[in-house]
Structure 1
């Protein structure tokens, strides 16, 4: 059992349906541990508890963010470096299912045999503890084709499941008040707290984004508040219509049988939520014949979310967006000039939040997030091509008619190979 005095700084200690106690128990073993939970549920918190209960210090926990690997060679190189320097440390692999197939299999082989790869003479792995953070069950990720079965098997012994916030109702307000206190302190402002109506709205909200979503909503509310007042449901954007669709979002069909995760335990991904909300916004604009430039705003939010992910570092952000550092600086002035329009549009507030959530969880390999976001919106617009003119669709994308046609052709050319693969399966 975790003692009260073991509470980690910056977190609210809730029971997480036994995840905390399970982590404390597994800390006594050398078993590789999978921590499973939807985005923002506190998986890294559980990893830190496990590490601390095993007697590790802050300087011996090494987080390896697999989202940042650019490919097989980069993954193998960085993991090898971590293994060679890992004696006495806990290696926490964040989203290892995002690694290439070869990199996953190589890591699995090293963990299973406890032997280092690529050495002239057999050499054992140093005494290192392995923890991996996964967004879904190992079975689901294997069935989806993103996690290799051999890597799943080495983490399959005693997985820890971190429940979503909607299953931790008593902890929602504790997290909200803790986050509010943290954010007010960092801004040196004073807010009295949440109104009773806001607390009631928070209890009823589905919180698909979990703890991360609580922080996002509090931060956005504080950005609009001068301080000294109470936060209301409107400040948190939890009023009717804001998330009604997400609350009723049905899980997609699973591609495998016997999945233990029923719909009650399903949490949509940020990508799924973003697609749903954008589809609603496109439909609203087409019905009202109001061509807001959603495509331009979407690109703005992707750039801003990327800068937030890399803490304002233009070089790292440009690398992630697959563009030049010069472009980042050039784009920011135009993005800033459109900020008032974006922030002043109620229809855009929820997509903006979800873009930040989506970008934070993306891997670095694959197409640029700018292209992926553009393709998503194009797909939604083209689904209405029978009822919406090219002119209207182009204005919603935020471009001219010729540019819309060119981007549509580029997008169709990009997805054609994938469609051909599906057709031959």
Structure 2
């Protein structure tokens, strides 16, 4: 495996840490910047909104451009906005850096996956993809808890400095190892790809993905006040819970990668049902430390495992958009990332307490069950039209 592929994974690790780390810093940010906890939670939504807008736009922007130059541009912008975020004098500046960082992150993702596959060659395509995507799950396992520990000892701004510093060696290796050559011929025009993505069958799959991630981010964004103010755990438990959620996400991605191809319908439908049941069960038992520990691990596994299966739907339903389908799947993921913290914050502001985001997550999953039923039927119809009906 070319070393450059691991450099791409390291950059994705830094970006994934940035996307998720605020869940362990939310109370400190709110206190330091004199805003409410729901307002601090919107910083996660702001990053997600930037990804929603940036994923398709940056994918279009980077088509045909030299990969090394594009990767370094996006990564340097990402690191710079985190330096600005670490020095932010107020909430407004920090909010702007979250959007700008997300746009750079979206651009990097638009180039990184295709670069990794190209460098590794067809015989190592899956392995190269797993190295890059693995940076996200590694961020959940190690980066986010480390950010919470660092923030707890040195203040939340230190976590932003750390993300910027981790980006530096990744940029250096990318500059040294990724070829400057332009990408190979693109199989379809941008207009043709966009038309392929406009089909109604794709909408239900994208909407289901957004709802699943909305439920995930709604609960995950407020896990720190939930643990300390509802469950009764000390602040020292927050990094542990974040690490457990990350471990669950890693297990979910690993398991789904091995099972989805064999039984996609059964795996995805089961995941949707278990997620809906799990968020409701978590809400009912959030006062128990033991139950909280178990649900954080299990729900992380179910959320990322089911989310991986949903992304595979998008690719399969949009074969005519080989370079842009991934950006639309990313946008759907981050629509949920923006919607979830906002809805959870509304529930808290309405006086329903820090347990209420879990109930909102359960409600979002009920909606996802409805759209998922439609999406599953659409996928099976598409498979039958090609004479390729998957196992249930």
Instruction: Settle same-fold status: TM greater than 0.5.
Output: no
Structure whose residues are more often strand by fraction: 1
Larger-Rg structure: 1
Q: TM-score, normalised by structure 2?
A: 0.29
Bigger relative contact order, structure 1 or 2, given CA contacts below 8 A and separation 6+? 2
Q: Structure 1 or 2: larger helix share?
A: 2
